[in-house]
Structure 1
């Protein structure tokens, strides 16, 4: 089984094109027109973004990441951080990791490098007074966010002060029927995890959503069928190798979208009001069509 997985990953490495050149990036009018809200010394909330597999790709960053992170940095100031240390510089290594770990909780998270790095980053960045941790994720990041949230929840279970843990899944590779997602729901029932935002940020027609399935075999089977599409579409989409920004796979199209980045901000800060009413009002102002 492992040799088959290795062969398939090598196959994808040769086939997968680099992300479509973002010639528009210099033209993106990011949210530089507003002043970041000042955080105070007693701030007790933290927001973390775990990006997708291609975060370090040749043409990165993409418009989605630029938009999302610019708005969150502007609205949240020092309360917003990007967790990029666990990501490999090779996108296919990140995808392979997600396919291998996207079905159930890892047995020994302390021995898993990506989970350990993400966990240590949050522990080092927070204090006993931190009462809310929101983990925002996209694509590959949803798998790491899931494993990270489980480790955090179990870590804080024995603590006197337990911060609320919120999970935001966009274009998620994690399947809602998997043991991994069901473990998150169990922790939510035990009040160790607060919000799990999933349905609001999936793109209709994106067959990347839930592609990790319920088993490793199902994950790699889905990946193979999404890659090797001949003479048509698979589940309504062209091959995942087709990264044209307008005619390609919808998972690639979303990376070129400012609107998708704004949608994340709207759901997190306005719909769920995770940073409080003042930040909600500011977000409403900067996302207004009149701006």
Structure 2
């Protein structure tokens, strides 16, 4: 599966998202289940843009009049996760709120965006279930976060949702969205063995004198990746930071052992990518 963590760092007023880059698959043979590596080059932190188009009184704008970024991380089955992201990435920047009766230009809040992700992921998860034994719905979860603008152009509070599967008493599957209070100190942790990862984060938070200065979730995930005790967590660390409503994506130019490398998510730019494009690729990095 994976691990991804989202939290608010009070010391710098930023929302951080971190994730590993490993994708795995489980196979069963002779009653024994084994985990195999698919790739350790997967992007798991993504950015969506919500954009409202419209006609102004004096001009026609050739793009969204109001827009904001949404950060998204996922864990679980890759096909429904990325299909959900791709569909949302097409819909959300192309919103047209104006009607004959109401000429306001405004964007939906994150509650509506979360409901869209919930709806899309439920549909794609059901569709993907045909590829699983007994048509079992694959596990797929997301965390999304943003600071949407409101009608009065005043910033709304930071908002965050955890979207994940729920099964009724008779086994019926659905996706639900639950709000996460990042400003109140809640940390969103998804993927494998989340209880122990939360315990590791709490252990680091208890260190004296703010040793890690708001980086505790990042350090905890790095420690897990380097320990290599979880078959489904590994690769390299990737980052997303939401600051002043803008979501930026970063990479750590280190391997799973913390040693410097000249690549990003396993792609060696100098050896394999730059020559394809005819110029250098430079991914912003955070150490």
- Both structures adopt the same fold (TM-score exceeding 0.5): no
Structure with the larger strand share: 2
Q: Which has the higher contact order (CA 8 A, sep 6+)?
A: 2
TM-score normalised to structure 1 length = 0.27
Q: Which has the larger radius of gyration?
A: 2
